[in-house]
């Protein structure tokens, strides 16, 4: 059977990047996590040396410290991870233009028709692994399959530095004995619902009557059934990132904010960040979404569509604050705030307003953008960022 789809998955990516940049960290238990003082106290990645002590991604940093007291705890350096990731994608594009980045440490590649140039998909996977190790310095596991789903499932079977090929005949032996939660697309909520149907393994799901799954879950039930049988018709889409649907930013606050006046400061700052990104992409958007999380980790997310598309922080902030007043009681503490702008379109033409207010705004934001382009994002801040409730000033330090 023809297996042209590869998934390259970097092993303990964040920790590996630190170990590559600083040879003194190699072979040592490296744990990348947020700053508990700023309430970002989660382990984002752990090297395999740290994993040997039981440290896992997503665990609290204090818990990791207990398991691995002599571990080297580092703060995340997202700029470096992005640079490493871009370099890896660039290497993949040397083999085939059909590359679809899936996350910062994973990308799919379709090598159909590349065998005359680079050999079989296994040869390509070996060459890719060698080049990533030599040129970037991190290890990766590669899964190979006839479709994206099997490539994804295969990549997780052998870590670190693995190479696994999973074809259709391998599905009953390699995939079916796994718990249903391991199937791509099954989250913890779906796992619970499947457990109610007495489905515990991927085999159970594959053998479950399709009609019942469809009746219960609709189209998703059909997809789950096909996935459990190793069937996936999704294409590797190299243009998947060209389409931007929304741009947003969210932040966990250093303390619980109470009262509208405190939260409004953060909303304005987030609106600035979001609109700057929207303008950099040459977009305008209409749908403003505000997401808030309270001290008990309960979510609220509400959206409002504006009468006109915009890329100005003032407009987005006004709409988000309106959503805040309408849907969030003033007494309720806020742990996390997110603002996003959706319904994006290219800002090729715009409605001219009679009073010239938009034109003034456009010129003002264009001037601010020029300053930031030249001197960096921290060069120009809103005055509210200098108040005790502001978050952007501290982030720049």
Partner 1 sequence: MANIRDYYRKNFLYEGHRLMLPELRDKVVHTCSRCKFFVWVQGRAGVRPGCAALIPRYASLAGRVPEELGVTDVLKEVGKDGLRRVLAGAEPCGQACGLFHPRSPGGD
**Binding footprint of partner 1, residue count (CB under 8 A):** 47
- What is the spatial distance between Cα 143 and Cα 158, in angstroms, rounded to a whole number? 9
250 sits in which H/E element: strand 246-257
Query: Does 387 help bind partner 1 (rule: CB under 8 A)?
Result: no
The nearer residue to partner 1, 263 or 291, going by C-beta atoms, is: 291
Task: Tell me the two tokens of residue 280.
Answer: 């950099």
Query: 2, 75, 78, 327: which one contacts partner 1 (CB under 8 A)?
Result: 78
Query: Does 235 help bind partner 1 (rule: CB under 8 A)?
Result: yes
Report 139-198 residues binding partner 1 (CB under 8 A): 148-149, 184-185
- Integer Rg of the chain from CA: 24
Q: Is 66:118 a contact under the CB 8 Å cutoff?
A: no
- Least Å distance, CB 135 to partner 1, is 12
- 97: Cα within 13 Å, side-chain hemisphere: 1
Report 315-374 residues binding partner 1 (CB under 8 A): 347, 366, 369-370, 373-374
Task: Put residue 229 in one of left, alpha, beta given phi > 0 → left and psi -120 to 50 → alpha.
Answer: alpha
Helix (H, G, I), strand (E, B) or coil at 151: helix
In the chain, what is the straight-line distance between the N-terminal and C-terminal CA atoms, in Å? 55
The nearer residue to partner 1, 152 or 174, going by C-beta atoms, is: 152
Q: Is 167:1 a contact under the CB 8 Å cutoff?
A: yes
Catalytic residue among 49, 100, 106, 269: 106
The nearer residue to partner 1, 53 or 102, going by C-beta atoms, is: 102
Question: Any idea what the Cα angle at residue 218 is, between residues 212 and 221, rounded to 5°?
Answer: 65
- Least Å distance, CB 287 to partner 1, is 18
Residues composing the chain = 397
Q: Is 382:314 a contact under the CB 8 Å cutoff?
A: no
Whether cis (ω within 30° of 0) applies to the bond prior to 160 is yes
Query: Does 376 help bind partner 1 (rule: CB under 8 A)?
Result: yes
Annotate each residue in 98-137 with x if it binds partner 1 (CB under 8 A) or - if it does not, as one string: --xxxxx---------------------------------
Query: 173, 198, 242, 354: which one contacts partner 1 (CB under 8 A)?
Result: 242
Task: Tell me the two tokens of residue 237.
Answer: 């889409």
The nearer residue to partner 1, 51 or 276, going by C-beta atoms, is: 276
The window from 76-84, 191-199, 251-259, 353-361 that contacts partner 1 (CB under 8 A) reads 76-84
106 belongs to the catalytic site: yes
The nearer residue to partner 1, 85 or 201, going by C-beta atoms, is: 85
- Least Å distance, CB 277 to partner 1, is 6
Q: Is 153:173 a contact under the CB 8 Å cutoff?
A: no
**Residues near partner 1 (CB under 8 A):** 78-79, 82-87, 89-90, 93, 100-104, 148-149, 184-185, 219, 222-223, 227, 232-235, 237, 240-242, 244, 247, 277, 279-282, 347, 366, 369-370, 373-376
Catalytic residue positions, numbered: 106
């Amino acid at each position: 059977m023809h297996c042209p789809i590869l998934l390259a998955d970097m092993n303990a990516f964040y920790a590996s990047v630190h170990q590559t940049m600083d040879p003194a960290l190699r072979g040592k238990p490296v744990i990348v996590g947020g700053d508990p003082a700023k309430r970002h106290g989660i382990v984002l990645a752990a090297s395999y040396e740290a994993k040997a002590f039981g440290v896992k991604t997503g665990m609290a940093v204090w818990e990791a410290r207990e398991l691995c007291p002599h571990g080297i705890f580092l703060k995340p350096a997202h700029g470096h991870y992005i640079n490493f990731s871009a370099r890896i994608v660039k290497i993949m594009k040397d083999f085939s233009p059909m590359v679809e980045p899936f996350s910062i440490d994973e990308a799919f590649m379709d090598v159909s028709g590349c065998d005359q140039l680079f050999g079989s998909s296994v040869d390509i996977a070996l060459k890719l692994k060698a080049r990533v190790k030599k040129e970037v310095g991190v290890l990766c596991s590669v899964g190979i399959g006839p479709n994206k789903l099997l490539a994804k499932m295969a990549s997780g079977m052998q870590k670190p530095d693995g190479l696994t090929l999973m074809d259709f005949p391998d599905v009953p032996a390699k995939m079916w004995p796994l718990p249903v939660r391991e199937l791509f697309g099954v989250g913890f909520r779906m796992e619970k619902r499947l457990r109610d149907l007495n489905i515990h393994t991927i085999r159970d799901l594959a053998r479950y009557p399709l009609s019942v799954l469809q009746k219960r879950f609709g189209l998703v039930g059909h997809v789950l059934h096909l996935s459990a049988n190793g069937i996936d018709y999704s294409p590797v889409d190299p243009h998947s990132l060209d389409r931007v649907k929304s741009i947003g930013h969210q932040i966990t606050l250093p303390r619980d904010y109470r009262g509208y006046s405190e939260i409004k400061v953060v909303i304005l700052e987030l609106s600035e960040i979001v609109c700057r990104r929207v303008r950099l992409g040459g977009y305008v958007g209409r749908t403003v979404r505000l997401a808030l999380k309270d001290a008990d980790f309960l979510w609220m997310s509400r959206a409002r569509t504006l009468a006109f598309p915009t890329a100005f922080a003032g407009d987005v902030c006004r709409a988000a604050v309106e959503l805040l007043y309408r849907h969030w009681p003033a007494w309720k503490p806020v742990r996390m705030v997110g603002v996003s702008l959706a319904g994006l379109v290219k800002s090729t033409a715009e409605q001219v307003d009679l009073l010239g207010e938009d034109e003034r705004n456009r010129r003002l934001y264009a001037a601010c953008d020029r300053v930031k382009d030249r001197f960096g994002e921290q060069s120009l801040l809103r005055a509210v960022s200098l108040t005790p409730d502001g978050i952007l000033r501290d982030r720049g330090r």
